[in-house]
């Protein structure tokens, strides 16, 4: 994998979309970082950007609903993931609740509150974007700028909150799928199914040889059988984007899938099993197939705190170089301090080995926090370290560690202003590195500002500015870049 696999690139409200290198990977439909939802405390949602290697993010969705005095849902990340499963609300007879991180207790439904529609729905949407990029090839010297446009209609079929799924599919256009931090995500409680298709065309004004037509198809479903919840998700996508690790624009094709099961042993204890597959085909570089499993047992300690322990095992089969195997032990927790503060965190140790090339023991961790400062102002913070295989060098992994901080302000009930800053250190670690040699090390920083407005129930507009800087020990891999994006999004 590349830098792109490293994180969700959480935080930041402006997310500059499309054919540029993307910094977002999270994705998620209705995702929240609160493993257990406490009544009156809305869950954390993925913040939209973590600007690590590789990708230029999409503009975050406009927030049209009034802000709540409690923790409001921050704009979802630009890359979506299927809504993982959640058990139904506890009943007086069974007392079953969902409390695993990655799954939440179903929200309280008032008598007059409609549940998500179960009948088949058909929705249409689309987006038009224009982006100026001062360094389209992310070069250290002789940077080339250009203006490019993206046209991306979307068709959606399904049940449940299909309108929101359509919004997030539009935000996810040209963003690679990720499952990073899926174990800290709380998602919808009700059964659902959906199928979404987004074709897109990217057109450059000067560098017309970079023009591309791409496809993005995603589908998912979930059912609940009293104590047992089962679900699945799959996504196929093509895109062309610069990659900071390999230092050039690449054509890629990703196929991603997930299956999951949750079982409530009691009103306080739950089992969670996840199975993942991700095949990444990178033109002219190292492609890979990764398969892994995560298993958790979670315990609800109190109304404010839940804890869990888990194990994971995976296999990476690259197109060049030795296969990689890894195992991980980990713990996770959620803490809802007040009606305005919520935190989810995980930590563990990963043992990764390459066939015939030795093994390495590496730490992993993640933290997501949300704070509703006022009824109109919210802040978010992310801290992380994740391990991924390299697409540029054989028998090499890299650790991406860093933080992001963002803030949002609702103005006049119509405008949403945002700002974010983030830093990531990327340290390479080769299984075959000769003693005394120095591994590559990158330091990436970004800062951005954005403004969004809802024109009417069908149309919203977004404007964003972002500066990025990468300082690398690898020759020619440092760069500076400025991006400005305008987007118009429609849904019917």
Q: Which of 29-43, 88-102, 192-206, 354-368 shows the highest mean pLDDT?
A: 192-206
pLDDT of residue 436: 55
Predicted confidence band of residue 414 (pLDDT cuts 50, 70, 90): confident
C-beta separation of 19 from 61 below 8 A: no
Beta strands 121-133 and 146-158, pairing class: antiparallel
User: What confidence tens digit (pLDDT) does each residue in 331-369 have?
Assistant: 999 998 877 899 999 999 999 998 888 888 999 999 989
Tokens representing 18 are 């499309």
pLDDT of residue 314: 96
Q: Which of 187, 219, 194 is CA-nearest to residue 85?
A: 187
pLDDT of residue 66: 25
Per DSSP, what are the bridge partners of residue 42? none
pTM for the model stands at 0.76
pLDDT of residue 162: 75
C-beta separation of 472 from 442 below 8 A: yes
Q: Which of 141, 44, 56, 99 is CA-nearest to residue 368?
A: 44
Domain boundaries, the chain: 3-491
The DSSP annotation for 229-241 comes to EEEEEEEEEEEEE
Please tell me the class of the 3-491 domain: mainly beta
pLDDT of residue 492: 82
pLDDT over threshold 60, residue 284: yes
Exposure of 141 by Cβ count < 10 A (0-12 exposed, 13-18 middle, 19+ buried)? exposed
pLDDT of residue 238: 95
User: What confidence tens digit (pLDDT) does each residue in 302-328 have?
Assistant: 988 999 999 999 999 999 889 999 999
Using a pLDDT cut of 90, give the percent of the chain over it: 49
Distance CA 102, CA 183 (A): 5
């Amino acid at each position: 994998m590349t830098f792109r696999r490293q994180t969700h690139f959480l935080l930041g409200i402006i997310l500059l979309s499309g054919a540029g290198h993307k910094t977002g990977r999270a994705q998620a439909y209705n995702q929240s970082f609160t493993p257990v939802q406490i009544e009156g405390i809305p869950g954390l949602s993925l913040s939209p950007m973590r600007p690590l290697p590789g990708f230029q993010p999409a503009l975050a969705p406009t927030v049209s609903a009034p802000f709540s005095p409690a923790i409001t849902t921050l704009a979802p990340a630009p890359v979506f993931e299927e809504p993982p499963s959640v058990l139904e609300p506890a009943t007086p007879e069974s007392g079953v609740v969902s409390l695993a991180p990655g799954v939440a207790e179903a929200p309280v439904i008032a008598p007059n509150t409609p549940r998500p529609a179960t009948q088949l729905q058909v929705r249409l949407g689309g987006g038009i974007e224009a982006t100026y990029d001062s360094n389209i090839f992310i070069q250290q010297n002789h940077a080339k700028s250009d203006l490019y446009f993206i046209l991306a209609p979307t068709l959606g079929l399904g049940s449940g909150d299909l309108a929101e799924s359509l919004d997030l599919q539009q935000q996810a256009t040209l963003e690679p799928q990720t499952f990073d931090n899926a174990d800290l995500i709380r998602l919808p409680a009700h059964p659902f199914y959906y199928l979404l298709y987004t074709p897109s065309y990217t057109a450059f004004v000067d560098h017309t040889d970079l023009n591309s037509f791409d496809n993005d198809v995603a589908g998912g479903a979930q059912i609940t059988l009293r104590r047992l919840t089962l679900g699945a998700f799959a996504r196929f996508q093509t895109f062309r984007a610069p990659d900071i690790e390999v230092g050039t624009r690449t054509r890629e094709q990703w196929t991603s899938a997930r299956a999951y099961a949750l079982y409530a042993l009691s009103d306080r204890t739950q089992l969670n099993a996840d199975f993942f597959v991700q095949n990444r085909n990178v033109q002219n570089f190292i492609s890979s197939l990764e398969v892994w499993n995560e298993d958790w047992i979670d315990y609800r300690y109190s109304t404010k705190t839940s804890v869990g322990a888990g194990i994971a095992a995976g296999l990476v089969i690259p197109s060049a170089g030795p296969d990689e195997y890894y195992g991980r032990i980990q713990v996770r927790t959620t803490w809802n301090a007040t009606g305005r503060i919520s935190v989810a965190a995980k930590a563990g140790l990963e043992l990764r080995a390459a066939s015939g090339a030795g093994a390495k023991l590496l730490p992993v961790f993640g933290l997501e926090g949300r704070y509703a400062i006022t009824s109109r102002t919210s802040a978010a913070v992310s801290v992380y370290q994740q391990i991924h295989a390299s697409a540029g060098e054989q028998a090499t992994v890299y650790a991406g560690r860093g933080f992001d901080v963002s803030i949002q302000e609702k103005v006049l009930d119509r405008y949403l202003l945002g700002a974010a800053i983030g830093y990531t250190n990327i340290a390479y670690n080769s299984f075959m590195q000769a003693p005394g040699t120095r591994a590559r090390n990158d330091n990436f920083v970004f800062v951005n500002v954005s403004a969004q407005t809802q024109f009417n129930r069908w149309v919203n507009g977004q404007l964003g500015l972002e500066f990025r800087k990468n300082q690398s020990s690898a020759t020619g891999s440092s760069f500076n870049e400025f991006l400005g994006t305008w987007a118009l999004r429609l849904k019917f």
